[in-house]
């Protein structure tokens, strides 16, 4: 995302208490890691308890990035988000005989789309009780409650037996977890041998010794969203290998998802015009983007972005 204005806005926010952060499961800028607090699953869940209803509205339903083919693609936010979900579903290669874990299910739209597209059974989990409630209501209203259910569960301590799932979908959920290897080990444990994983994660292309103000700005953005430090795409083969998974695809989609930022802030602005105020957490995020020229941002080289990871559990993984 554009840093020039964000770095200015970040000076308006104090860094607050910083907790020690293990570097076992990520490899990001030391400056960003030092400035980004570790958030517990409880804190992350409470963030979404407070904000999921509004986030569902401003994200046009799916609560994740959209996917656009380029600057001339005028697809709306909702359809672009569904497009990214469809891309991820295709990588799972599942059908009516399969059971899929949606790790970090949000308010349920991707799970509903997955069930409708494939006929697979879906179990969605979240650390937000509010999301579980909203997602369950969506499944009922969309007529897929026989295929889709949602549970309260922590991705770092999944309450499922080994080999319970044929595939795992993780759309922008591991971004909250500092130790990526830990959550990948949990995924490998609940996957059957040969089972597939498709996830998206937040990546950085910044050097090890980056611009201090830029690191501060990005750390403020990550903290506002309760995200862990970003990782480097090049470290994913090792992450997967250590978890007992085999990498099939690592694709940087920063140039496709970068249009999300401007559309999200426009949607937030529209929400303020319609309702008067954003919840305090989201007002902080909105203020961090105040004055950013998002059209110009889209023209800039994308040093930070999103990566798609597709992998499978090997027959010999633990």
Residue 235: predicted pLDDT = 94
Q: Which positions are catalytic?
A: 172
Q: Is the pLDDT of residue 32 over 70?
A: no
What does the radius of gyration of the chain's CA atoms come to, in whole angstroms? 19
**Any domain includes 69:** yes
Q: Which of 26-40, 75-89, 259-273 is the least confident region?
A: 26-40
Q: Is residue 93 situated within a structural domain?
A: yes
The Cα-based distances of 155 to 50, 175, 196, 273 in angstroms read 20, 12, 17, 36
Q: Classify residue 31: in a domain, yes or no.
A: no
Q: Which two tokens stand for residue 275?
A: 């309702």
User: What CATH number did the domain enclosing 77 receive?
Assistant: 3.40.50.150
Which residue would you say has higher pLDDT here, 1 or 310?
310
Residue 39 domain-assigned?
no
Within a domain: residue 255?
A: no
pLDDT tier for residue 21 given thresholds of 50, 70 and 90: very low
Total domains in the chain come to 1
Dist. CA 177–CA 119, nearest whole Å: 30
Higher pLDDT, 266 or 212: 266
102 found inside a domain: yes
Alpha helices (H) along the chain = 4-10, 30-35, 41-58, 77-92, 109-118, 129-141, 180-190, 212-224, 236-243, 254-257, 259-275, 280-288, 294-299
pLDDT of residue 66: 96
In this structure, is residue 96 part of a structural domain?
Answer: yes
Q: Is pLDDT of 229 > 80?
A: yes
Instruction: Summarize the confidence of residues 58-76 as an average pLDDT.
Output: 94
pTM of the model: 0.89
**pLDDT greater at residue 82 or residue 24:** 82
pLDDT at 117 over 60: yes
Q: Which domain holds residue 159?
A: 4-21+45-204+227-248+265-279+287-313
Q: Indicate whether 318 pLDDT > 80.
A: no
Split at pLDDT 50, 70, 90, the class of 316 is low
Q: Are strands 191-204 and 165-170 parallel, antiparallel or unpaired?
A: parallel
In the sheet with 165-170, reading across from the earlier edge strand, the strands are: 148-152, 121-126, 99-103, 165-170, 191-204, 304-313, 245-252
Domain annotation covers residue 256:
no
pLDDT digits (tens, 9 = 90+) for 185-226: 999 999 999 999 999 999 987 555 556 777 788 889 999 999
């Amino acid at each position: 995302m554009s840093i020039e204005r964000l770095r200015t806005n970040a000076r308006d926010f104090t860094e607050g208490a910083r907790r020690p952060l293990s570097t076992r499961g990520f490899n990001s800028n030391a400056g960003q890691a030092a400035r980004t607090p570790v958030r517990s699953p409880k804190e992350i869940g409470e963030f979404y308890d407070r904000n999921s209803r509004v986030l569902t509205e401003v994200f046009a339903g799916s609560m994740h990035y959209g996917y656009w083919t380029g600057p001339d693609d005028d697809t709306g936010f909702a359809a672009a988000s569904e497009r990214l979900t469809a891309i991820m579903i295709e990588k799972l290669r599942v059908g009516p005989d399969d059971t899929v874990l949606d790790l970090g299910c949000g308010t349920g739209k991707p799970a509903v789309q997955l069930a409708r597209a494939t006929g697979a059974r879906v179990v969605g989990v979240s650390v937000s009780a509010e999301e579980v409630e909203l997602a369950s209501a969506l499944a009922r209203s969309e007529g897929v409650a026989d295929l889709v259910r949602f549970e309260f569960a922590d991705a770092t301590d999944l309450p499922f037996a080994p080999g319970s799932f044929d595939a795992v979908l993780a759309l922008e959920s591991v971004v909250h977890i500092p130790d990526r290897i830990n959550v990948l080990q949990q995924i490998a444990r609940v996957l059957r041998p040969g089972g597939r994983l498709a996830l998206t994660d937040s990546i950085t292309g910044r050097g090890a010794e980056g611009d201090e103000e830029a690191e501060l700005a990005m750390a403020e953005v990550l903290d506002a969203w309760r995200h862990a430090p970003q990782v480097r795409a090049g470290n994913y083969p090792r992450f997967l290998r250590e978890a007992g998974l085999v990498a099939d695809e690592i694709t940087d989609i920063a140039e496709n998802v970068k249009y999300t930022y401007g559309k999200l802030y426009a949607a937030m602005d529209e929400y303020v015009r319609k309702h008067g105020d954003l919840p305090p957490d989201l007002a902080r995020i909105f203020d961090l983007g105040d004055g950013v020229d998002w059209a110009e941002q889209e023209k800039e080289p994308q040093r930070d972005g999103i990566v798609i990871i597709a992998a499978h559990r090997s027959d010999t993984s633990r």
